[in-house]
């Protein structure tokens, strides 16, 4: 067997090489050194940034402390408790961030002593006045929110806001408004065929009562319908509520659109007829209207036409009633909906509400083409308003009690407006059998001299609920 060959490793030189000879290569350490340098530089940069940010935060905090202490020092010179409490809170914030601030400690002690002194010296009347002021502010805020919800038709939200306000600061006006809301909610639920909810809201109204002339009285639950014993007219209740009057794209006198509150009233379900007006003529010996014997307008159950505003007012007084205001008329025609016609947003089809628009040469489906005049009152029940009134659009236009002004809406009062104080003409509403569709919307306003005798104009009457 052959012996293995053994190689000897080279040995390092025993002596340093002579000049000119090469040293053996040394191990490379440069990468580790470079990493250490970079890491050190980054660490220094981070520490510098940290200390700089900390310094800046400290400076900002110091500036905030100085600002708050200056503010607290100024307020500490006041005598009002509310201002002193503000100063005390500002000093407290400084001490919460810097408990060692001796200036803040001293100022806090002085303010606390002044608060104690002011509270001791404050009379019961002053304390009561301050509490009362806070309650009034709280009440005003929730009453404002309640009124806004009421205008939007959000009755349950309005009731909630008013109930909170009532807990804070009970007033007669607030109780009255809340009573109206409860009552309106009860009537709304009754129309929706929800008897349990209707009774619940009616019971709330009964328990609350309503402030009238400074005295608390039990609320009256009004009937939905009445029969006038003098002229035999059926009258229906229009409940209290807000109505959005006008049309943003209508004629100038229909703008601006605005909300008004109308108190409850009764209104004739139909326009006054020839038969009813005949009773008035027999009882008063007043002259016959202009078209009384015209065959186009003389049927007993057609609405009476050719009556002046003065004639209509005289009839209303005879029957123990009055003419409605423009706001009442629009509330009855529009209800709680924001639609152009009493029945909604579309023009009628077969069973149409309108008569014939002969002025434009067009006819509504279902209306006889040979008739150029009003129909028997209440002929088109599908055109009822949300509260159940008929012929509020078309048939005959209707006198109202208001004087007319094109610019009245710009300054109309928010509650129960009754028209301008001056003006020669009277407002007429509803459009007639002679008008095109755009002239019979619930917002259109017409106007005539009170002595006018038109074949297109009649009337219906109203009566106050408090008179019942």
Dihedral sign (CA 397, 402, 404, 407): negative
Residue 295 vs residue 53, higher pLDDT: 295
349 and 265 fall within a common domain: yes
Choosing from 165, 182, 214, the residue where a domain stops is: 214
CA 226 to chain CA centroid, Å, is: 32
**Residue 104: inside a domain, yes or no?**
no
**Residue 8: inside a domain, yes or no?**
no
192: containing domain: 125-214
Shortest CA distance to 434 belongs to which of 460, 456, 457? 456
Shortest CA distance to 161 belongs to which of 139, 182, 136? 139
pLDDT over threshold 50, residue 361: no
282 and 204 fall within a common domain: no
Element containing residue 427 per DSSP (H, E):
strand 426-429
Cα gap 210→162, rounded to integer Å: 14
Tens of pLDDT, residues 81-134: 677 777 877 887 777 667 778 888 888 888 877 776 665 555 555 555 655 665
**Residue 67: inside a domain, yes or no?**
no
The per-residue b/e assignment along 146-159, b for 16 or more CB within 10 angstroms, e otherwise, is bbebbbebebebbb
Cα gap 276→279, rounded to integer Å: 5
275 and 333 fall within a common domain: yes
Shortest CA distance to 450 belongs to which of 390, 404, 394, 391? 404
430 and 300 fall within a common domain: yes
447 and 403 fall within a common domain: yes
361 and 461 fall within a common domain: yes
The total number of structural domains that make up the chain: 2
Q: Which residue has the tokens 């050190």?
A: 40
Tens of pLDDT, residues 332-359: 999 888 889 998 876 654 444 444 333 3
Tens of pLDDT, residues 455-466: 999 999 999 986
Averaged pLDDT for residues 19-25: 49
Residue 357 vs residue 222, higher pLDDT: 222
**Residue 65: inside a domain, yes or no?**
no
Query: How many CB atoms within 10 Å of residue 73?
Result: 16
pLDDT value of position 171 = 55
303 and 366 fall within a common domain: yes
Residue 375 vs residue 140, higher pLDDT: 375
Could you tell me if residue 335 is left (phi over 0), alpha (psi between -120 and 50 degrees) or otherwise beta? left
Choosing from 214, 239, 274, the residue where a domain stops is: 214
């Amino acid at each position: 067997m052959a012996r293995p060959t053994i190689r000897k490793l080279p040995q390092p030189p025993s002596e340093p090489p002579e000049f000119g000879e090469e040293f053996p290569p040394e191990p490379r350490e440069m990468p580790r050194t470079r990493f250490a340098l970079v890491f050190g530089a980054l660490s220094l940069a981070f520490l510098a940034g940290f200390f700089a940010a900390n310094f800046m935060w400290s400076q900002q905090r110091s500036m905030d402390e100085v600002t708050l202490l200056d503010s607290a020092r100024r307020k500490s010179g006041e005598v009002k408790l509310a201002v002193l409490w503000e100063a005390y809170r500002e000093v407290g914030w400084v001490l919460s961030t810097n408990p060692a601030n001796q200036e803040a400690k001293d100022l806090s002690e002085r303010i606390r002593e002044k608060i104690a002194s002011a509270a001791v010296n404050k009379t019961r009347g002053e304390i009561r006045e301050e509490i009362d002021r806070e309650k009034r502010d709280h009440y005003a805020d929730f009453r404002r929110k309640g009124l806004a919800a009421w205008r939007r038709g959000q009755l349950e939200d309005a009731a909630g806001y008013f109930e909170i306000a009532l807990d804070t600061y009970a007033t007669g006006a607030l109780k009255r408004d809340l009573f109206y809301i409860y009552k309106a909610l009860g009537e709304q639920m009754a129309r929706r065929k929800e008897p349990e909810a209707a009774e619940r809201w009616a019971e709330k109204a009964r328990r609350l009562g309503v402030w009238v002339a400074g005295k608390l009285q039990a609320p009256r639950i009004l009937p939905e319908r009445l029969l006038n014993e003098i002229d035999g007219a059926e009258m229906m209740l229009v409940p209290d509520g807000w109505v959005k009057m006008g049309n943003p794209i209508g004629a100038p006198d229909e703008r601006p659109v605005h909300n008004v509150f109308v108190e409850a009233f009764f209104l004739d379900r139909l326009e006054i007829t020839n038969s009813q007006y005949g009773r008035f003529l027999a009882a008063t010996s007043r002259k016959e209207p202009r078209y009384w014997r015209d065959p186009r307008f003389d049927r007993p159950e057609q609405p009476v036409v050719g009556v002046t505003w003065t004639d209509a007012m005289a009839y209303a007084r005879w029957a123990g009633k009055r003419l409605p205001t423009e706001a009442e008329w629009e509330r009855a025609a529009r209800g709680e909906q924001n639609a152009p016609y009493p029945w909604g947003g579309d023009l009628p089809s077969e069973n149409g509400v309108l008569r014939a628009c002969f002025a434009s040469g067009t006819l509504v489906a279902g209306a006889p083409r040979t008739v150029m005049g009003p129909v028997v009152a209440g002929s088109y029940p599908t055109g009822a308003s949300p509260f159940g009134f008929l012929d509020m659009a078309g048939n005959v236009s209707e006198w109202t009690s208001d004087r007319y002004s094109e610019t009245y809406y710009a300054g109309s009062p928010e509650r129960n407006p009754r028209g301008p104080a001056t003006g020669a003409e009277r407002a007429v509403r509803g459009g007639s059998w002679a008008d095109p569709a755009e002239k019979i919307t619930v917002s259109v306003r017409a106007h005539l001299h009170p002595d006018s005798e038109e074949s297109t104009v009649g009337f219906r009457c109203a009566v106050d609920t408090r008179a019942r």
